[in-house]
Copies of this chain bind each other. A is one copy, B any other.
Amino acid sequence: MGILLAELATQLGAQLRGDGALEITGVAAPERAGPGDLSFVAERKYLKLLESARPGALLISVTDAGHFDGNALIVDNPHVAFARAANLLFPPEVMPHGIHASASVDSMATVAPTAWVGPLAVVEAHAIVEAGAYIGPGCYVGESTRVGSRTRLVERVSVLHHCVVGEDCIVWPGVVIGSDGFGYARDGARWVKVPQLGRVVIGRNVEIGANTTVDRGAIDDTVIGDGVKIDNLVQVAHNVRIGENTAIAGCVGIAGSAVIGRRCALGGQVGVAGHLEITDDVTVLGTSLVASSITKPGVYSSSIKAEPAELWRRNAARLRKLDEMADRLRRIEKQIEEISGRIHSEPD
């Protein structure tokens, strides 16, 4: 069931060094790889992990190849090549097609013959499930919603009415797409619900992690661009727009109408305030708060690292007096200026 190393080299467009007839049957981390395993080293410093193990073959860059003397596949980007190799060794299972007997599919829905609707799934009227799409067990596809070709709703995913999930997407269990945005008008002490009339429109090749939520737009749409990757437990509020190929780590919260550029990376637990814009190619480190627009590409942070609580408590207490401290500093500077003036004006 394995693949010969020479065949892997061909498929990955890699330069083969060593035993092309070796059968590769698995993948492994460098420090635990065995004789049938393919592994990879993305940076030279990780070569030391190989002291305790000996992979059948190693994906390695041309600049590092001289530092390893075993079987090697020499490539431009070992990490990407590793991803591709793993996909070759462990191809995604062939998806079934048809409609499971226990599924509930409305007679006005359109399910392509090559698509699959799994056990206990619900597909509402006027929904469209395109060719090769996979609607897993317990999923819900709302009225007039479209699920694109080859997209996989893994299991227990909710896509409410009038939304669009593009082609080649993967959506994990517990995800909710198309819930109402948090929109109310204040009427004295009470809140009046503002109808949420927009949609969620998701591009191609998007992956959305478990239990993430994406609210529908208030009037316009919430939009997630092609190639965006979103981790677990992320909140995407109404009318947010996320640019192509942006990656968003777990537990991030993005408030309403925020616009995030292309190729951005938001670390875990980052917060993004509403009604602001983040330009392309911005990285925000984990737990930071983006409270106003970011107009220049780069790395941003407001994260604070934990230290022993006794120590931190004292620093945090001072932080609460920092403004006063700054005033005292200013006062001292004036006093010193004055004293210096006096001293210098004195005859030596």
Q: List the B residue with the shortest CB-CB distance to A122.
A: B137
Binary per-residue interface labels of chain A (206-241) against chain B in the complex, 1 for a CB within 8 Å, 0 otherwise: 010111010100011000000101011101010000
A319 contacts across to B, CB distance below 8 A: 304, 315, 319, 322
Q: Does A87 contact B (CB under 8 A)?
A: yes
Q: Does A45 contact B (CB under 8 A)?
A: no
Residue pair B182, A229 in contact (C-beta under 8 Å):
yes
Distance in angstroms from A160 CB to nearest chain B CB is 7
Q: Which of A285-330 contact B (CB under 8 A)?
A: 285-292, 294, 298-323, 325-326, 328-329
Residue pair B302, A302 in contact (C-beta under 8 Å):
no
Task: From B119, B160, B193, B286, give the contact of A83 (CB < 8 A).
Answer: B193
Distance in angstroms from A63 CB to nearest chain B CB is 18
A263 contacts across to B, CB distance below 8 A: 189
Please count how many residues in chain A sit with their CB below 8 Å of the partner chain's CB atoms: 124
Q: Does A249 contact B (CB under 8 A)?
A: yes
Contacts A173-B179, A326-B318 given: A195-B83 contact, CB under 8 Å?
Answer: yes
Residue pair B302, A312 in contact (C-beta under 8 Å):
yes
Q: Tell me, in angstroms, the Cα distance from A294 to B305 when the chains sit together.
A: 11
A311 contacts across to B, CB distance below 8 A: 320, 323
Q: Does A68 contact B (CB under 8 A)?
A: no
Task: From B120, B173, B190, B303, give the contact of A291 (CB < 8 A).
Answer: B303
Q: List the B residue with the shortest CB-CB distance to A283.
A: B309
Distance in angstroms from A250 CB to nearest chain B CB is 4
A294 contacts across to B, CB distance below 8 A: 306
- Which one of A170, A303, A310, A342 has the greatest number of beta carbons of chain B within 10 Å? A303
This chain: how many copies in the complex?
Answer: 3
Residue pair A140, B155 in contact (C-beta under 8 Å):
yes
Distance in angstroms from A255 CB to nearest chain B CB is 5
Q: Does A284 contact B (CB under 8 A)?
A: yes
25 contacts between A and B (CB under 8 A): A80-B187, A82-B194, A83-B195, A138-B138, A138-B140, A140-B156, A154-B160, A182-B250, A190-B245, A191-B247, A209-B215, A210-B213, A213-B232, A231-B237, A232-B235, A251-B271, A269-B271, A290-B305, A294-B306, A300-B307, A303-B312, A304-B304, A304-B319, A315-B322, A332-B333
For the complex with contacts A173-B179, A191-B247, A269-B271, 16 further pairs of A-B residues with Cβ separation under 8 Å are A79-B194, A80-B192, A120-B122, A120-B138, A180-B207, A184-B229, A211-B213, A215-B232, A233-B235, A250-B255, A273-B286, A300-B306, A301-B309, A301-B316, A328-B329, A339-B339
- What is the interface of chain A, defined by CB distance below 8 A to chain B? 27-29, 32, 77, 79-80, 82-84, 86-87, 90, 100, 102, 104, 119-120, 122, 137-138, 140, 154-156, 158, 160, 170, 172-174, 176, 179-180, 182, 184-187, 189-195, 197, 207, 209-211, 213, 215, 219-220, 227, 229, 231-233, 235, 237, 244-245, 247, 249-251, 253, 255, 262-263, 268-269, 271, 273, 284-292, 294, 298-323, 325-326, 328-329, 332-333, 335-336, 339-340, 342-343
